[in-house]
Amino acid sequence: MKRIIPIALALLLLCAVFGCSGKAAAREDAYYSNSAGQYYADAAYEPEYEPEPAPMEAAYGFGEESKTSASQSPALSNRKIIRNADLTVETLQFDAFLNQLAAFVGSFGGYVESSSIGERGYRNGQQLHYAYYTIRVPAEQLDAFLNTVSDLGNVISLNTGLRDVTTNYVDSEKHLESLRIEQQALLDILAKAETVEDIITVQDRLTYVRYEIESYEAILRTYDDQIALSSVSITVNEVERETPVEKETFGQEVSRRFNESLSDIGDSCKNFAAGFLGNSPIIFVTILILGAIVLVVVLIIRGVKKRYAKKQAKAQNNVPKE
């Protein structure tokens, strides 16, 4: 029995080595050359998809070609695909936009993963705001959700992308299956072990195998979550005027700039009038104080001039006549 247990452990290790030797790609070799814990870290922090700018007509309905989503494509139907998107939206009604966005997220079966709201400065006396949202929505609802958001505000940029994790996913499943087989074999050996040394040896290996099983199960859960729920990053900017996203003719650009200049002049006059009237008490008091100061200075100057004139006259009267 003492010889059988080491031989059985050696056979299990050889099976594990040959089971992993089928990974030909260099990327997968890097994953599996380390422990399962390191593999999990690599999978969790694997570089995200490389987004490609979408045509701007997509921001106003995503075009006819978008009616068939990537998740419905026959070529991708059997693949493990992670779909994500990010977009920047302008709005004239900031609070109303955020309220509508929150309502639509729930209606699509999604949720807000994180959010940040702040102030982005003043513009013609108006406080403008911004908001950053990370939203998770079911992958099959991604296109419909983006269409809905485009109807709420002015989408000035949109990036969508997908990441194929089929190879990593399948390899993780196979490795997990091998580990579970090894675990069962170790349990069978442990049941037949007779010496303390054999029991400790088997238990050490069993502990390591169980750790790797938990790590690979976590990997698959992470992939399942990312595949089922797409991540949408939304930047919302409150603006006074929306930025044109369609190409303008020369005449349209001149007309727009002329109207914007008139609007800026009107806003400047309105802000000046509001500031002047709003601060009129301070201005009035300031004018009174300055007037009093000027009056005092004038009186002092006159007094000095009169004294000087008297001294001059007195000096002339004291001059002896020849």
pLDDT of residue 180: 96
User: Tokens 């007779």, residue?
Assistant: 194
DSSP 90-121: EES-HHHHHHHHHHHHHHTT-EEEEEEEEEEE
Give the span between the Cα atoms of 63 and 216, in whole angstroms: 40
| Model pLDDT, residue 237 | 94
pLDDT for residue 183 is more than 80: yes
**Are 132 and 234 spatial neighbours (Cβ–Cβ below 8 Å)?**
yes
What pLDDT, on the 0 to 100 scale, is given for residue 193?
87
Q: Is the pLDDT of residue 46 over 60?
A: no
Across the beta sheet with 81-91, the strand order is: 52-53, 154-164, 81-91, 229-238, 126-138, 111-123
Structure confidence by residue, pLDDT tens digits, 257-302? 555 565 556 556 666 666 667 777 888 788 889 888 988 888 888 8
> Is the CA virtual torsion 251, 253, 256, 257 positive or negative?
negative
With 80 as the cut, is the pLDDT of residue 194 above it?
yes
User: Where do we find the tokens 């969508």?
Assistant: 160
